[in-house]
Homo-oligomer: A and B are copies of this chain.
Amino acid sequence: MSFADRLYAAISTKGTPAMVGLDPRFDRLPEPFRAHAKAGPKQAADALIEYHRCLLDVIAPHVAIVKPQSAFFEQLGEHGFRALADAVQSAKDRGLLVLMDAKRGDIGSTSEAYASTFLGGGWSDAFPASDALTVNPYLGEDACEPFLEAADRANAGLFLLVKTSNPGAGCFQDHGEPPLADIVAQKVADWGANRLGSSGWSSVGAVVGATRPEELAHFRKLMPHATILLPGFGFQGGTAEGLSSAFNARGEGAVVNASRSILFAFERKDLQHLSTWQERTEIALLEMKQALKPVSANPA
């Protein structure tokens, strides 16, 4: 079953395109994990493992997919990679799909090495395979090929960076006429054209910031079969408003990621009447699902 088909089956089951980013910031973990994380890299990794298992217990009933951000784990070196592997496996064990947000990009056999690390097909017991991977396209089409081939072999998905959620994304992505992001989007559409699942969606997706709803209809048109990953919901300022052009009438077409607005919810003043961080996290997640309902149901 293709990644896209697995994704839309899971989204249909869970009833939401919401995705939770696993971006552990050591100074913003709930206790006792925060205290444990201060004891050193090994202890911090142990704390992350325990934390993510608990967090995933909260998340798993509600969403289809999670997105671990490799950068925050890598800070702990080898210990961080151990914690990242555990988070991936723990998510899979709970029936969640996993999109590894590592934004890798290189050439030839180096791209192959990254692709096999994160999507499988390499040293199979060294690191658990994710269902999809984010890829930086700057190095060109031939540099992306090894990722596409590895994804094909593993029935995995890719999300190419097209237009990112940061304020200065246009600096290079808007360069030229048509803008570079459009050229990348066209490649995403081309690569996806013969990678359509029975859902009608391709397994080659694109990242377009949820912070830029005004551009969504445009990118949807350029990539009619690509799932759009919309990061930046919540903390970065993205709202449900205006995201509907990414979705079809069945509520398919995009996944919406929130990280800090979910992960830091346990600190929210208005939720302190709830005694555990898990309850506060769950409330924030239910709020996000609620906010996305009119958008992803796309009543139009």
**Are A109 and B25 in touch, CB under 8 angstroms?**
yes
Taking CB atoms and an 8 Å cut-off, the chain A residues in 174-213 that contact chain B are 175-177, 180, 183-184, 187
When each residue 49-84 of chain A gets 1 if its CB lies under 8 Å from chain B and 0 otherwise, what string results?
000000000000000000001011011111111100
**Are A71 and B184 in touch, CB under 8 angstroms?**
no
**Are B72 and A126 in touch, CB under 8 angstroms?**
no
Q: A78-B79, A180-B172 are in contact. Are A140 and B114 (CB under 8 A)?
A: no
Q: Whose C-beta in chain B lies nearest to the C-beta of A124? A: B41
Q: Chain B contacts of A176 at CB under 8 A?
A: 175-177, 180
Question: Is A48 engaged at the interface, CB distance under 8 Å to the other chain?
Answer: no
Count of chain A residues with a beta carbon within 8 Å of a chain B beta carbon: 62
Taking CB atoms and an 8 Å cut-off, the chain A residues in 71-103 that contact chain B are 71-72, 74-82, 85, 103
**Are A166 and B107 in touch, CB under 8 angstroms?**
yes
Question: Is A171 engaged at the interface, CB distance under 8 Å to the other chain?
Answer: yes
**Are A75 and B123 in touch, CB under 8 angstroms?**
yes
**Are B140 and A166 in touch, CB under 8 angstroms?**
yes
Q: Whose C-beta in chain B lies nearest to the C-beta of A209? A: B107
- Pick the contact of A103: B72, B75, B104, B172 (CB < 8 A): B104
**Are B143 and A166 in touch, CB under 8 angstroms?**
yes
**Are A110 and B71 in touch, CB under 8 angstroms?**
yes
**Are B75 and A117 in touch, CB under 8 angstroms?**
yes
Question: Is A139 engaged at the interface, CB distance under 8 Å to the other chain?
Answer: yes
- Pick the contact of A173: B25, B109, B140, B161 (CB < 8 A): B140
Of A82, A172, A177, chain B has the most CB atoms within 10 Å of the CB of A172
Question: Is A169 engaged at the interface, CB distance under 8 Å to the other chain?
Answer: yes
> How far in angstroms is the closest Cβ of chain B from A291?
23
> How far in angstroms is the closest Cβ of chain B from A102?
9
Of A107, A125, A173, chain B has the most CB atoms within 10 Å of the CB of A107
Interface residues of A (CB under 8 A from B): 23, 25, 40-41, 44, 69, 71-72, 74-82, 85, 103-111, 113-114, 116-117, 122-123, 125-127, 136-143, 161, 164-173, 175-177, 180, 183-184, 187
